[in-house]
Structure 1
Amino acid sequence: MRRIGVVVNPIAGMGGRVGLKGTDNKVEEARARGAEPRAPERAVEALAHLREQGEALELYAYGGVMGADEAREAGFDPVVVGEPGESTSREDTREAVRRLVDAGVDLVLFVGGDGTAVDVAETLEELDTETPMLGVPAGVKVYSSVFAVTPRAAGRLAVSFDRVERREVNDIDEDAFRGGDVNTELKALARVPVGEDLQSSKQIGGGTVEQLAEAVAADVEDGVTYVLGPGSTLDAVKRELGFDGTPLGVDVWRDGEVLVRDATESEILATLGERNVIVVSPIGGQGFIFGRGNPQISPPVIRQSEVEVVASRRKLDDTGTLRVDTGDPELDEDLRGWIRVRVGKFERRLLKVA
């Protein structure tokens, strides 16, 4: 019987839809902007799918909102190994991992982003244990390769894996990230279940996009509201449109005017018009077009818009399959299938959204 330990960072991802690009040291500001917790619902989704697998397992969890509450909502009666403090912290995450390892779990299933992954990986390393870890993606920035591509995929992999491998745990400085600088740092190498539904480490940069940006900018239409996603490719498009955009944020543009810079979800929704086009570029090496780095482009925004995916040929050569993880399974299913990705002035490539 497999024993799975669960720990949830309940504040992970709160800063995404309100434009904070992360939650480190920004929890109160995120709440002031109306942010809603994202990690608990992602945890319930993963655990519900875990339960549906029908495998014999015992579930161990840290108390309250850090695992036990979500486990019960998913239909489990977990063994509770400890209780967090009144205000959860990184030390609570680390203590949860210690308690789960002491309980003899076969896998630490954590819910959060890269910061949580670092806390889990470093604690496992300090304990000198061979216990593997697996992430349910819930953070704004998910650069590490220790995460499943979706919560449901995490639920499947947690019970089906039969071997593990070493994978990268990366993190960035969120304050620098908010200022437009992306400096990743390898924090640890962690033991992770082997499976097809694991995401790759994010690749930064690579390839020229000037001609692509010129082509996209030349084809904008009057009266259309453009929601321009983050990343270097879209940054080049924004420059072609005549403004300095937010490299790691979402900007909204219409008829030669920037309507909102570094927009939150609510600001995007407020500026949408009769016809709206979301322009995004996949994350290099991972292939995500929604669900990583751009949670401001939420399901309500996507449902009111057309979607155009643009990428350099080099990026597509390195990417292969596109992915979505919007947090809305029905929308994810609608988005899956074959789409045309613009790679030049006239050329488009058919690529599958998995």
Structure 2
Amino acid sequence: MSDRVFKLGLLINPLAGLGGSVALKGSDGVAAEALARGAKPKAPLRMKQALEVLLPYKDNIHILTGAGPLGETLALELGFTTQVVYTGTEPSTARDSRSLAAVLADTHKPDLLLFAGGDGTARDVYAEVDDCLPVLGVPAGVKIHSGVYAITPHAAGVVVRMLLQGELVSLMSADVMDIDEEAFRQGTVRARRFGEMTVPAEPRYVQAVKMGGKEVDELVLADIAANLIEQMDDELFIMGSGSTVAAVMEELGLDNTLLGVDLIQDRDLLASDLTANQLLEQTAAAWEGKDNPGVKLVITLIGGQGHILGRGNQQLSPELIRRIGKENIIILATKTKLKALEGRPLIVDSGDPELDREMSGYYRVTTGYHDYVMYQVANPDLNE
């Protein structure tokens, strides 16, 4: 690689993703409540996973960032040459993300701005950067509709590594999207496009904009639901978010948290809109004793992106996934959604890279009544 020093802008929104594990479905305006419920900051860890890919190249990287939790603490911990260009408030606010982005864009002009957050953070960065420099998001929020994010934190690191190695990485414009979190918490997805930013054009590692809307083929959804209900015995069923899973709940005649996680047994609703800790507590008994009923997890994929874990369902913690086991995960999807991926694999972004690797393989996906396809789960960046 070249001896030229790569100037990397680094921005961490410490509040991003706080609401996910405690079922608040976002962080906008509810960070204090999320912390009070026991939520732990995730954005620094997610950025760390990205930067660890770059450790062999740290002598050729000069990081420009904000003081303390905005990036300085992590960069110094990992041993990168670090320059603080902005000192924010304590505790951090969205204004800090915008202010740091503005300083980087207007004064320092890094080769790339790497930021960790969710769609709200992407909006803040866009407000100051627009398309004046390339950016790449490390997914750390609850909702990731924007096309400016890598598919996983590790994938973000792989893309930056490609730039450092002098590979011919094209640039493209990608949409900055966000939704109304108040409406989101009431079960309504109301997305809006705010503009575009320039990102590395690496479709293996940079996600597509999420497809919105409810599946219109109600007959297919009814067939998928009937197939699953036919298999239900006395196990506990954790019902993930999304309209495909919602079709099962509707067929059962049960109230459903469209954008949350519910728990059912014997085709009855036990609990609604559970947090990560509540799921661990509610299912703990199922693994105790010889006569445990077992636990199944029912999930679907995010249309257009292919994520089955880590987008809108952070309540499904790595600890819970390991307890459940790959063999007890049921994936539901219409063939229309699978075909829209154009052969790209399903993605797991659990927050635990080792678990993401363990989850790789082929899964039977229910696509209708007694109708299945085999489809691969394989984060492409983990093979790099």
Deviations along 1:2-27, one digit per CA (max 9) or x if unpaired, are 21100000010011011000011101
Contact 1:134 1:193 in 2 (8 A): yes
Q: Does residue 352 of structure 2 align to residue 345 of structure 1?
A: no
Deviations along 1:299-332, one digit per CA (max 9) or x if unpaired, are 1111111211010111111124200010111111
Q: After TM superposition, list the pairs within 5 Å mapping 1:1-354 onto structure 2.
A: 1-53=5-57, 56-101=60-105, 102-125=107-130, 130-161=132-163, 162-195=169-202, 196-204=204-212, 205-208=214-217, 209-222=221-234, 224-272=235-283, 273=286, 274=292, 275-305=294-324, 306-319=328-341, 320=343, 321-354=345-378
Local SS of the residue matching 1:81? strand
Q: Read off the aligned partner of 1:323 and give its amino acid letter.
A: I
Contact 2:59 2:80 in 1 (8 A): no
Shift of 1:193: 1.0
**Structure 1 runs not aligned, ≥5 long:** none
Contact 1:24 1:174 in 2 (8 A): yes
Local SS of the residue matching 2:233? coil
Deviations along 1:191-218, one digit per CA (max 9) or x if unpaired, are 1111120011110133421211121122
Aligned residues: 350
Q: Read off the aligned partner of 1:112 and give its amino acid letter.
A: G
Cα distance in 2 for residues equivalent to 1:171 and 1:95: 20
Which moved further from structure 2: 300-309 or 7-16?
Answer: 300-309
Cα distance in 1 for residues equivalent to 2:356 and 2:56: 20
Q: Read off the aligned partner of 2:65 and give its amino acid letter.
A: A
Q: TM-score, length-normalised on structure 2?
A: 0.89
Cα distance in 2 for residues equivalent to 1:258 and 1:31: 28
Contact 1:227 1:250 in 2 (8 A): yes
Cα distance in 2 for residues equivalent to 1:207 and 1:338: 27
**Structure 2 runs not aligned, ≥5 long:** 164-168, 287-291, 379-384
Shift of 1:45: 1.4
Local SS of the residue matching 2:54? helix
Q: Read off the aligned partner of 1:313 and give its amino acid letter.
A: K
Cα distance in 1 for residues equivalent to 2:224 and 2:117: 35
Cα distance in 1 for residues equivalent to 2:92 and 2:175: 26
Local SS of the residue matching 1:78? strand
Structure 1 residues 38 and 232, CA gap change in structure 2 (3 angstroms): same
Contact 2:62 2:80 in 1 (8 A): no
Cα distance in 2 for residues equivalent to 1:53 and 1:345: 51
Contact 1:259 1:271 in 2 (8 A): no
Cα distance in 2 for residues equivalent to 1:137 and 1:169: 13
Cα distance in 1 for residues equivalent to 2:192 and 2:175: 10
Contact 1:289 1:323 in 2 (8 A): yes
Local SS of the residue matching 1:308? strand
Cα distance in 2 for residues equivalent to 1:253 and 1:52: 48
Q: Read off the aligned partner of 2:121 and give its amino acid letter.
A: T
Q: Read off the aligned partner of 1:116 and give its amino acid letter.
A: T
Q: Read off the aligned partner of 1:292 and give its amino acid letter.
A: R
Q: CA RMSD in A?
A: 1.3
Shift of 1:164: 1.0
Cα distance in 2 for residues equivalent to 1:106 and 1:246: 43
**Aligned match of 2:166:** none
Cα distance in 1 for residues equivalent to 2:208 and 2:156: 14
Q: Read off the aligned partner of 2:172 and give its amino acid letter.
A: E
Q: TM-score, length-normalised on structure 1?
A: 0.96
Cα distance in 1 for residues equivalent to 2:238 and 2:181: 23
Q: Read off the aligned partner of 2:151 and give its amino acid letter.
A: V
Cα distance in 1 for residues equivalent to 2:376 and 2:57: 27
Contact 2:215 2:244 in 1 (8 A): no
Local SS of the residue matching 1:61? strand
Deviations along 1:122-174, one digit per CA (max 9) or x if unpaired, are 2112xxx6211100000000011100111111112124243311001100000
Local SS of the residue matching 2:254? coil
Local SS of the residue matching 2:177? strand
